[in-house]
Structure formats: C-alpha cells, structure tokens
Amino acid sequence: MPAITLSKGANASVTHNVPTATTITVGFSWHVVQSNGPATEVVPCAIACGQDGLAVTAQHVVYFNQMLSPDEAVSYEPDGSLPGGDVEQIEVDLQRIPSNVMSIALILYVNPDLRQPGTFDSVRDCVVRVLDRAGSEVIRYPVEAADLGATSAVVAGELYRRQNEWKFRAIGQGFAGGVADVAQNFGFEL
C-alpha cells in the first residue's frame, strides 16, 4: 500500500494505517546545500507533552544528548546506515507511552553549537516519515520550503492521542529563535 502524503495542517491515523504496530519509527531526511562557510547541522528531537501541550519534564526531550525518555517509550536512534534515505530516526513504543503523555512533538533545529546563528536557508528536501516496524513508509510529510528558510527550528509534525487512537499531524511551524524558542514554547529549560 503506498504511503499517505500529507500537506501542512493535515493528519492521518497511525493506529488505522498500522493496526498491529506497537512500535513505529519517525524518519527525518534532508539535504544541505554546501557553502564556503560552516555546514548547517540539522538535529531532530522529540518532546513528550502532557495535556497542557508542554514537555512533561526536561527528561522527556529526546535528542542526541538525551537518547531515551524516562519511560523508555521514545528513543533517539544514532545515525548510520538508516533505511529509506533517512538521516536520523526516532523510535516510539506506543505501548510504553504513559497515559499522561498526550502528544509527541517532532522538532528539527539547526545546531547552535556548530553554527551561529544558523538557519534552514541551505536545507532542501526536508521530509518526515512514519514507518512501521518492518521499515515500510506509512505516512510522509514533505515540509514546505517556505516553512523553513530563515527559521532555525521547526515543529515538523506531531504524534497525538485522539481517544484510543494515535495520529500524525503535519505542522511545519517555524521558530526564528531556534531551539531556545522551542524550549520556551514547550516549557522546559535548556
């Protein structure tokens, strides 16, 4: 079955499209246009949020320096030879997500430690994918270039609960202030 391709603002049911899935993978891919300056380093992260839309705790922000949520439901998969052209992946064990987690925000940001201030201006072909356990693409969201550009962080998408169902929403909301703006928006400290 071909993957569902979403546009900004659209959503699709993960539960319906992967009915037997207990674990899914969120894959991120992009290309960086080379320049004479420092290369832009894009970093994905996942933020497990409560009913209020804020991070449950700072330990529920999963990225390369904090690779596992406290409940072990969300994990950052180190890069390497990832399937399907993904540059980075985050794995989500839907059965382990505690009942107080209502959504998982999927973020991409330009690493401020590598390049100041750094933006998505040189990033092309940014895609977020939901994969089943076998690695088959189920849902795809090509993040629109207009939602990247001069921003340095973007909420690319969101996994969220709707009654007994998990869904994926294509968001594409950019932040000019980068990961600091993301932290403020989701209520955690860097």
Tell me the percentage of the chain whose pLDDT exceeds 90: 63
- Structural fold of domain 4-186: Lipoxygenase-1 (2.60.60)
Q: What is the pTM of this model?
A: 0.92
Domain locations in the chain as residue ranges:
4-186
Contacts of 71 (CB under 8 A, 6+ apart): 96, 97, 98, 101
At 15-73, the pLDDT tens digits run 999 887 789 999 999 988 877 766 788 899 999 999 999 999 999 999 999 999 999 99
How buried is 112 (Cβ within 10 angstroms: 0-12 exposed, 13-18 middle, 19+ buried)? middle
